[in-house]
Structure 1
């Protein structure tokens, strides 16, 4: 990992800090995470001659994989599908943050993208002018505080969907009385030493499943405290067909494509079965946990969720490391509600008390709609909750903007690539016809259409979405006015979008 970290540091480089921003570009990409770097690549390949820059608030690329530095940080999606379709992944399917950033660094270097990236630029505002037919972006250099003004014809929002600066931690009674340390994984302190300590990790999602096995070997004990159970998929951190194809001397490009298709086929089958035979799928998932914890371990209540599979994201546990820690006695699980913090730990409503030196709040994040940027159109503040989404990537009444919002049940990057294809095709269409702007608008046949929350909570209902649903755009009852969360349908539908549909209103 040290070697990988050094490679990333070298390839990130300071040169992009020194480069001055141009006054005007065709496209401005917000964010140098997995979506923004992918978008930059697609612009260079599909829209040759298009001028663009990438503005990134942090001091390097990576987004989530730079921000999150907690022990054991790794992907919860396989890299054959989380990786880009255009660059083969050659490592283990579940990868560390350092490995993912090294992969992204290669994309930047191989495609000469560094010249387009401006690090340390936090966007304060974005204003659209119908008279000038462009966006004016005001950004602040984080090192100097200097404000930079840039105009752009088109905004491509690739900044993710949560606030990087702070995670979500509930306000429990007694937190100020606790004599130990309370930390959120999203802002993990560099000086935190958990060796020999009693640690309580609050939460049961992918973050907890990552932190616990990373801490367990050196801590006195780690306790997973969850309000309710979640589903896990334990499995080997390898893909046999990939290893077999390598032994046969097949090229990495072919291996990448074959393995991607195999994984996506299996995921589609699993997702469908989660809807059509949830009880069977539930038993299969529980059987995977039993295989690691042993037949004498009582899964009820700690590993028996009340909801059907896939109503919340399912965490993959590579090589069953979380369950190995529990089986060894170095980690344990407690299910219950917190009554309050005490000086020495946490008191549950059941009366049980958990002693702790350190409490890790793996309790999720704060939803962030389009980067906490102050948007306005012709001088009027823009409230995205008042708009209706066009296929989860554009908004009614908002000109020349696209947003990357990935999938809950499949890898984020799958949709980042699909949205990139759409944006590049849209930009080419506008160039060919001399259009200066495009804005989605409800058509006459959409009059009276029911407007609903961004996503149906019966479909998917994690806490961060439920807490922030009021911030998100509305969805319509028709397919084109919603984010379906269905990659296996969208991979065929999005490339066929009719750019002459009246849903797109163009201006010359």
Structure 2
């Protein structure tokens, strides 16, 4: 990933425009100046900088990178081993030959467990509730076929891109239209890859609908390989307390551990926890409404990137980028310097709904953070969190005069 980013930066001449180790702390809009002023701290020197811009584009993602989500369990203070969270992984952590318990069942746990199992004495994945897993080869079979036929690389890329998107669209469609059928499919796909006698229904059949939380993809089924090899195991239970030597579960079972990895997720961060003001007034985002999942009511000349839960994040980043470029061109064409998402007269009685609908997506980090986030409406253009299959057609055709006020 870093090699790819370095290549893009070099090819595009972006190096001089990127400022590393700079933390944005505040952003203030002045209607009189029609400018954003952004307060920045250089983390290496502590120097305070002030940057101005006519348009502000927030591309900070949605993780809280400073604070990981770690529940407090009884007895943690008496555990004699080491407790680490993947978000703050110490460089000097050595798990070779040690007993490791990984608390969690999501994509992070599914990544950490097989990696640690290569050298640890044993790794136990301790989960309160299961996750749907799906094994995929690191190299797509279609890619092997196309390259064997000496198909031009650009064609291969485009064909594979379409194949991945089509597969994602089909899984997403089934999750809404035939969830029981999809559940059966996912379980039966896992069953032959697991150790004989493994209780798939207990350990890998969640209570929620498929795709109500993320499917965790296993490259070459590496987690299943570790389970078959006996270097890893799965326990589904709740924690009663930490002990001096490990964890005691509600069932009474004790898991001995030298290292405990809390792969317990993260919390959302609203626009990087940057303090926003508009004409001197603090912006309370919990009282604002999204515009197409790209802008915020009452906040001028500001856009943000938020991707998909069920497709690659970058698919929506591409669509949002094209939308913002089209918006800037539209502003220039009509001689406007300011654009503000503004509710229309017909939206006066519109109900304001939570940021996400739990019936659609109910991952823990979403449920925990709803009270911090902006709202959505029940009509266009005040909705968001749509699927790629719809937005790839609707966003490029969106009316730039609907819900946007120019001056």
**Short-chain TM bin:** over 0.9
**Could you say which residue in structure 1 is the equivalent of 2:45?**
144
Secondary structure in 2 matching 1:415? helix
Q: Is 1:504 the equivalent of 2:400?
A: no
Distance in 2 (CA, whole Å) between partners of 1:107 and 1:243 is 26
The structure 1 residue matched to 2:313, chosen from 403, 412, 416, is 412
Runs (4+) of structure 1 moved beyond 6 Å? none
Distance between the aligned counterparts of 1:200 and 1:485, measured in 2? 37
Would you say 1:216 and 2:95 are equivalent positions? no
2:48 aligned with 1:155: no
Contact 1:409 1:485 in 2 (8 A): no
Q: Matches of 1:183 and 1:107 in 2, distance apart? A: 33
Structure 2 residue corresponding to 1:380, chosen from 281, 284, 292: 281
Deviation at 1:294, TM superposition (A): 4.2
Match in the other structure for 2:186? 285
Match of 2:206 among 298, 301, 305: 305
Counterpart position of 2:127: 226
Structure 2 match to 1:272: 173
Residues 34-53 of structure 1 correspond to what in structure 2 (within 5 A)? Answer: none
Q: Secondary structure at the match of 1:414?
A: helix
Q: Deviations over 1:70-121 (max 9, x none)?
A: xxxxxxxxxxxxxxxxxxxxxxxxxxxxxx1111111111111112111111
Alpha-carbon distance, 1:143 to partner: 0.9
2:11 paired with 1:110: yes
Measure, in 2, the Cα distance between the counterparts of 1:263 and 1:492. Answer: 18
The answer to whether residue 266 in structure 2 is matched with residue 392 in structure 1 is no
Work out the CA distance in 2 between the residues paired with 1:223 and 1:342: 16
Which of structures 1 and 2 has the larger relative contact order (alpha carbons within 8 angstroms, sep 6+)? 2
Alignment root-mean-square deviation, CA: 1.1
The worse-fitting range, judged by mean Cα deviation, of 374-383 and 476-485 is 476-485
Q: Which runs of 5+ in 1 are unaligned?
A: 1-99
Q: CA deviation at 1:166?
A: 2.6
Find the aligned partners of 1:294 and 1:227 in 2 and give their Cα distance: 21
CA contact (8 A) 2:100 2:120 kept: yes
2:195–2:227 contact (8 Å) kept in structure 1:
no
| Aligned pairs (5 A) from 1:203-352 | 203-352=104-253
Name stretches of at least 5 consecutive residues in structure 2 with no aligned partner.
none
The answer as to whether partners of 1:454 and 1:482 remain within 8 angstroms in 2 is: no
1:255 alignment partner, SS class: helix
Residues 163-187 of structure 1: CA distance to partner in whole angstroms, max 9, x if unpaired?
1123111111111111111000011
Distance 2:21 2:86 in 1: 23
Within the alignment, does 1:176 sit opposite 2:73 as a pair?
no
Aligned-partner Cα distance in 2 for 1:407–1:227: 26
Deviates more, 1:172-181 or 1:287-296: 287-296
1:453 aligns with 2:354: yes
Aligned residues: 407
Distance 1:450 1:142 in 2: 42
SS at match of 2:318: helix
Shift of 1:250: 2.2
For residue 93 of structure 2, the aligned residue among 192, 199, 207 is: 192
Partner of 2:377: 476
Q: How is 1:68-107 mapped onto 2 (pairs within 5 angstroms)?
A: 100-107=1-8
Give 3-state SS (helix, strand or coil) of 2:202's partner.
coil
Alpha-carbon offset, residue 300 of structure 1: 3.1
1:26 corresponds in structure 2 to none
Contact persistence 2:76–2:242 (CA under 8 A):
yes
